Amino acid sequence: MNALEIIKIGSNFLKEKEIPSHILDSEILLSKTLNQSREKVLTNLDQEICKKNIEIFKKYINRRSKKEPVAYILEEKEFWSKKFVVNKSTLIPRPETELLVGKLLELYKEKK
């Protein structure tokens, strides 16, 4: 099976489980499985995926189908261009928090 077929299978499964970001999640989880950037995976959709990696991908997709956040599956989340380790014991940084921090820095840039 190639990457495109795997992405479609994962995406369709997540869509059935009513995951709104089913295509994106499938692409991200395959890139995690292959230890490649999402862009590299998407520019090499004809690359063959070995059975071992298909099994790993299926485990990730199954976790996501149960509404587990992608950040917990990846075990990392970017915040202010830095990667942070996240797990079920931590909060996932949100984009709104980046906006809030930006506003606070703006307000206090002239103060010590």
| Contact between 32 and 73 (Cβ < 8 Å) | yes
Set out the domains of the chain in order of their start, with CATH numbers: 3-69 (1.10.8), 77-107 (no CATH)
Tell if the pTM clears 0.75, that is, is over it.
yes
**And the tokens for 54?**
């298909």
3-state helix, strand and coil shares in percent for the chain, rounded to the nearest 5: 60, 10, 35
**And the tokens for 55?**
């099994």
pLDDT tens digits, one per residue of 73-105: 999 999 988 999 999 999 998 888 889 988 988
**And the tokens for 44?**
């090499």
Give the pLDDT of the chain (112 residues) as one tens digit per residue: 999 999 999 999 999 999 999 999 999 999 999 999 999 999 999 999 999 999 999 999 999 999 999 999 999 999 988 999 999 999 998 888 889 988 988 888 887 7
